[in-house]
Amino acid sequence: LRVCLKTARRLACLMAGSIVLFGPPGAGKGTQAGRIVNLTGKPQVSTGDMLRSAVKAGSPMGMAAKEFMVIIGLIEERLQGDDADSGVLFDGFPRTIPQAESLERIANVTSVISIEVPDDAIVERIVGRRMDPETDEIYHVTFKPAPSEVESRLIQRPDDNEETVRARLEAYHAQTAPLADWYAERGLLISIDGNSSIEEVGSSVEDAVRNNA
Ligand code: ADP
């Protein structure tokens, strides 16, 4: 792979296969990422978090050119880490075909796990999503209630409301969903039915990783 010819750790790079966890906002990517990390030992690279700490106001969609350069630079740097020798798990990136094309130049993506969930289920998931700021654990008021001792410190992301979700879904369908076909054409896409319980989706994700990644 030409990406690897430039790096000092050439052999590790050639063997390194990264996984992209793909799907609409609220599909359950963050919820399922830990299983993939446990199974593969690949560290999770959450570009949303990276961007939030690198630039003050990170807009998730319609990323400005400057932010785009920042994120590609951050990913490139992250891939140099010792723990990235056998690839990483990308969560929340890429979101557009141009981003995927840029990613192709710096990482060896060997599978894309797409969690498919219909829009109506997404709205319910996002509106009920709660985060534990201390552990970063993701909860849901109905589908994954937090233990009573952490309940009082739970936060809701400001953009996790119904209006914003509809706009984010629109952007997802316009800009991000076409990436599924793009990856499918390259033989990398593994689609998972995400419209069932957290446990059921989790075992489909694990099967996909065992069989393909
Ligand atoms: P993403 O990372 O794709 O944006 P999250 O993992 O944050 O999505 O999940 C969004 C919300 O939906 C969270 O509140 C989570 O607890 C809940 N959730 C995740 N997977 C499921 C599922 N299979 N069934 C019901 N709720 C789920």
* Interval 4-29: pLDDT, tens: 666 666 555 555 799 999 999 999 99
Residue pair 72/106 in contact (Cβ under 8 Å)? The answer is yes
Ligand 1 atom closest to the CA of 25, numbered from 1: 4
Return the DSSP state at 130: E
Please indicate whether residue 125 is annotated as part of the active site. Answer: no
What DSSP element (H or E) covers 171?
A: helix 162-171
Q: What is the pLDDT of residue 26?
A: 97
Confidence of residue 56 (pLDDT cuts 50, 70, 90): low
Which alpha helices (DSSP H) does the chain contain, by range? Answer: 2-5, 10-15, 29-40, 47-54, 65-78, 97-106, 119-127, 148-151, 162-171, 178-185, 198-212
Straight-line distance from the first to the last Cα atom of the chain, in angstroms, rounded to the nearest whole number: 18
The one catalytic residue in 10, 52, 157, 210 is 157
Please indicate whether residue 52 is annotated as part of the active site. Answer: no
User: Is there an atom of ligand 1 within 6 Å of 192 CB?
Assistant: no
Give the closest residue to 50 by CA, choosing from 88, 12, 8.
Answer: 88
CA–CA gap between residue 33 and residue 151 (Å, rounded): 23
Give me the mean pLDDT over the 165-182 stretch: 97
Indicate whether 207 pLDDT > 80: yes
The one catalytic residue in 42, 78, 125, 168 is 168
